[in-house]
Every structure is written in C-alpha cells, then in structure tokens.
C-alpha cells in the first residue's frame, strides 16, 4: 500500500512540475527507459532542453554529475528546477561531499534548506502553482 501511495505522489508531483513548465512554454516528454531522467522538458522557441529528475527534496547524486540533469524539488510548497551540477557545487562548498551519506552512498539530500540555501535556489523557482492555475483559468479558451 505504501508503494502505491508513493507512486501516486510521484505522478501528482510530476504533473505539477509539468504544469508549471508548460506555463514557461515547455513541452514534456516521457522517456521509454528511465536512466536517471524522469521526464524531458523542451521549449522549441529557444531550443531549450532539460532532462529532469524529480525529487521530494533538494538532492544531489554522483550518478547525475556531468549529465546535464536538472532536479525538480519542492521547498515549503514552491517548486524549483535547478541544474544538478550547480547544486553539487553548492553542496561541495558546504562540505556535504565529506559526509558519510555522500562517501558511502554517493548521494546527499536536505529535508530543509537554510535561508542561504533557499537564496541559492531562488533563481530557479517556478511561480506558485496557485498563480499558474488561476492564470490558466482566467485565460480565454479558443
């Protein structure tokens, strides 16, 4: 039962992030095989492509380094989409690569971020889903 709930939560979160990305003119694609990429966002107007890994919190992982992967994660109800390698550099500067989690498991996550951490993520924050939903509801359907 718990596995089912976590799968449902992942689908809900993916749909929320995709909805937020649609507001920024991205289209979403699901890979046939997930090798660290949960979905792909592509914006044709500027040829922007983002390979996205969806997480329930700020997370870095050795297997994502150097792969141009973006991590989507929530902080206090807002969603962020940030380049993994930039997150890794920030974590490395904070000393997380010296923790047993990183050394033994090759990954590190933060359930809560400091004010400085949130500030580092701020440029990658999506508009709140409530604003995006209200804007979509107010637009005239053609």
49 in any annotated domain = yes
Task: Quote the tokens at residue 3.
Answer: 């596995």
- What letter would DSSP give residue 97? G
98 in any annotated domain = yes
The domain total for the chain is: 1
Global pTM value? 0.89
Ordered alpha helix ranges (H), the chain: 2-23, 84-93, 100-105, 115-121, 129-138
140 in any annotated domain = no
Tell me what pLDDT residue 5 has: 86
Give the CATH number for residue 57: 3.40.1350
Reported confidence tier of residue 81, pLDDT bands at 50, 70, 90: very high
Domain containing 49: what range? 2-130
């Amino acid at each position: 039962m718990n596995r089912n709930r976590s799968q449902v939560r992942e689908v809900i979160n993916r749909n929320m992030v995709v909805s937020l990305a649609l507001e920024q003119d991205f289209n979403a694609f699901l890979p046939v095989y997930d090798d660290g990429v949960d979905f792909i966002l592509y914006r044709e107007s500027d040829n922007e492509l983002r390979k996205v890994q969806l997480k329930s919190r700020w997370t870095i992982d050795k297997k994502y380094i150097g792969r141009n992967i973006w991590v989507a994660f929530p902080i206090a109800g807002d969603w962020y989409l940030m380049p993994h390698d930039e997150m890794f550099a920030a974590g490395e500067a904070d000393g997380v690569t010296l923790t047993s989690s990183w050394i033994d498991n090759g990954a590190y996550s933060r359930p809560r971020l400091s004010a400085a951490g949130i500030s580092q993520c701020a440029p990658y924050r999506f508009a709140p889903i409530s604003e995006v939903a209200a804007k979509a509801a107010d637009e005239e359907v053609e």
